[in-house]
Amino acid sequence: MGQFVIETKGLTKKFKRFTAVQNLNLQIPKGALYGFLGPNGAGKSTTIRMLLGLIKPTRGSIFLFKQDLAKHRMEILRKVGSLVEAPSYYEHLTAGENLEITRRILQLPKKEIDKALEIVKLAKWKNEKVKHFSLGMKQRLGIAQALMGNRELLILDEPTNGLDPAGVREIRELILSLPEIMNATVLISSHILNEIEQIADYVGIIHQGKLLFQGTLEALKAKGRKEIIIEAHPLHKVVEFLQGKGYAVSRKQNRLYLSANINPEILNRELVMHGFGVSHLSENLGSLEDIFLQLTGEVA
């Protein structure tokens, strides 16, 4: 089955006439920081609830740590920490007192509290009441609860939701540190493309309950439409030259846009050798947003 911490086969969840998740085949490698990306309502949260055993699939199977979740649920979930929706805490208690409740439930040693607070950079606020915390600090406390007990897998559902830019940056930096500090695999779901691009090394894109892409971030970016932007003169002669070579060329004001799999350096040399004055030539690889819209448009 390979070194997959999470593997699903044909995972499907139906609610009456609505299919929230359809034939999902996730493969999340050990040690990955996996971005589970999709618009609101795409099926991310439903998938996560099935991975955590909170709801049962209509059909299909889930393997965590190469074990069938349906057969070894309690054994598996001891290794899994999660933050789903808003974190659970008591505002009238301190950060340390909140983690003490978690520690007692999980029957962990007391040192786990300080360790967790240190990882999420809340150690100096251990004795502060949570009601005085910013939203970002509360979110970090929720992550501290999730990682108590040396978890091997962390599942975080939209952990930056509702945060201001400073809070988003804090959570992003924390998440980036977790695979190394905790030696854990991290699954983070989000509908924010920019966040996933800055955090993940593996990506899964879900849309209307279907998995459209799964692989490395580099492989996803490679799916983008490459475009070469040219400024040269005389422009109408350049257009004729490129069209004569079979390239599709579009013109916007004084620029030409060429969609072709050609080395920009070679193209520049050809234009100059044929006597054209090239003042600008660049390659636009397309943003992650462009690629996402391209993928989701294929099933819309």
Residue spans per domain, the chain: 4-221, 227-284
Query: If we measure between CA atoms, which residue out of 198, 162, 206, 249 comes closest to residue 46?
Result: 206
User: Using the 8-state DSSP alphabet, how is residue 259 labeled?
Assistant: -
Query: If we measure between CA atoms, which residue out of 141, 146, 93 comes closest to residue 121?
Result: 141
pTM here is 0.80
> What's domain 227-284's architecture?
2-Layer Sandwich (3.30)
The CATH number assigned to the domain with range 4-221 reads 3.40.50.300
9 φ/ψ angles, rounded to the nearest 5 degrees: -130, 115
CB 203 within 8 A of CB 187: no
Handedness of CA 31, 210, 224, 222 (dihedral sign): positive
Q: How far is CA 118 from CA 72, 83, 105, 145, 147, in A?
A: 32, 18, 21, 12, 12
Average pLDDT, the chain: 90
pLDDT of residue 8: 97
pLDDT in tens, 120-174: 999 999 999 999 999 899 999 999 999 998 899 999 999 988 888 888 999 999 9
pLDDT of residue 273: 94
Mean pLDDT within 39-56:
94
d(CA 226, CA 135): 40
